[in-house]
Amino acid sequence: MRTSPTRVTGRKLISAAAVSAALVAAATTSVAVAQEPAASATASEAAAQAVAAPAERLIVGYKAGAAEAKSNPAADADAVAKGKEAGESLDFQRRLGTGAALVDLGEQLSKADVADVIAEYQADPQVAYVVPDRLNKPQADPNDTEYSKQWDLFETTAGMRVPGAWDTATGTGVTVAVIDTGYVAHSDLAANIVAGYDFIADTAVSVDGNGRDSNPADPGDWSAANECQAGAPASTSSWHGTHVAGTIAAATNNGKGVAGIAYNAKISPLRVLGKCGGYDSDIIDAITWASGGTVSGVPANANVAKVINMSLGGSGACTSATQTAITNAVNRGTTVVVAAGNSNANAANYSPASCGNVISVAALSRTGAKASYSNFGSTVDIAAPGGQTSTGTANGILSTLNSGTQGPSTESYAYYQGTSMAAPHIAGLAALLKSANSSLTPAQIESAIKTNSRALPGACSGGCGAGLADATKTVQAVSGTGGGTTGTVFSSGTAVSVPDNGSAVESSIAVTGRTGNAPSALQVGVDITHTYRGDLVITLVAPDGSTYPLKASSTSDSADNVNTTYTVDASSETANGTWKLRVQDVAASDTGRINSWKLTF
């Protein structure tokens, strides 16, 4: 509560979702005595570093003229004396090239203990500075020349926080099938390309002079005016599949071009889109083959994909034929990621965005709001950067391309926009997750992405799924490097609106496959967007109706959002059953939304 304020012949084809995407042609001498910094700066620096983390060693710089600045025995004696004063056992280790003394703290001390030792040194007028001997690690930011333009990977507002995930996983061991226009040779992708297939059976669509074969090379998908549809203007080749592939797995730290999200993953290009689009039948066979299924007349796949990306779509709900192929792929252990579509409409009326067992991805602009073109709705699972070039070309998604307007020419880089660009962000993330934890199922990958997403920085009228995908948080969650629990997780990423000063709303999670009772330290992770969280009352409801208060209302808590984990003693409750998160806004003037929540047993 606030006290203040397709072709003319009529054949139905699936079209590439980003056909209208915007394209833009892309040895020093050591000194014996350490220098003497300002005392006030030294004290504040050391204090801040001591609070930041424990330490095993200290670097001590003595003032010129001090015996300890030149004499190792004197520095050792000083360390012993100061250790005695602080109640610790200190030991002089060696002299650094700058003349400073390296002092060992013995057994690893707490932050408070380190601070006590530092205070002893700071009190000595002969000490110029004392700082912890910090442990440094290689930085993950790559040296690719265009990386600074990839806001979608690292920017605070709407970037997907990818660099932090690279410390844990880079996609090694995972193949991603890009079901798209095929692949045009590009030196920034070549190292990560493995064998694919050309599934286009109709030579009028394939325009490569033949039907299905083992060569997924993209000859270009340009068309003349009225060739694909009456009234349609002429279009140049999109090289769409190559752009998508670059976002997922462009070679990284190679001193050129862009960085891929899962840059050690492999890309298997499967060609299904040609002039004017591509048929469901070809796409269905590509899904089947990519995931390890058998397709008549096509050799067995030696590069079975654990992730499929389909940045394509057409109008109409998901058909039983397409759904069957997707379900079979998921049952084989392959995660299927699809674009939500670019019609600024309900994704439920588009395919494969409306299919079950997929991760359907909406597009966000650089400000974190739904991109103007992006589809939306309850079938959308997650949002990712897709770009908005109407606000500036550099606000699009930069990736690998070709400069040819019809057939291939020289390799290039270009900014595109579209849910076609958002989907490969999630496919790349799925590859990182599978690389970090090879036992993850498609359902667990989807759940992890949704559960560990963060609230949208901007607006999305109609629904953009669980939120903005967070690569760092998600990879840490599945790999156990985030400091959280690593038990079995059940989650809900279905958004539920919380009305202002209204009745309580509930979100459900069905827990199955457990034996006995819930744990005495059941973890309840909650992600709720709200503009005045003090208004909220949050309750966990057990399968038998028992309630466990998580948060009470407070007139003094004016902060935004609830993104935290509660611990509940639920040992008296049977684990299996439907658990509910009940949320009520009990005061006027603010609204909110349950983005996602999870139970960790």
Catalytic machinery residues: 180, 240, 420
Give residues with Cβ within 8 angstroms of 545, minimum separation 6.
none
> Is-contact 500 590, C-beta < 8 A?
yes
CA 424/CA 434 separation, integer angstroms = 15
Residue in the structure block whose two tokens are 């009326």: 349
Give residues with Cβ within 8 angstroms of 516, minimum separation 6.
574, 575
Structure tokens belonging to residue 572: 């008296």
Peptide bond into 549 cis (omega under 30): no
Terminal CA-CA length for the chain: 34
CA 419 vs. chain centroid, Å, equals: 16
CA 565/CA 575 separation, integer angstroms = 18
Task: Give CA angle at 309 (308, 315), nearest 5°.
Answer: 120
**What would the 3-class secondary structure string for 416-461 be?**
ECCHHHHHHHHHHHHHHHHHHCCCCCHHHHHHHHHHCCECCCCCCC
Q: How many CA atoms lie within 13 A of 178 on its CB side?
A: 38
In the chain, the amino acid numbered 381 is D
CA 224/CA 123 separation, integer angstroms = 81
Q: Which of 196, 74, 160, 55 is nearest to 124 (CA)?
A: 74
> Is-contact 273 311, C-beta < 8 A?
no
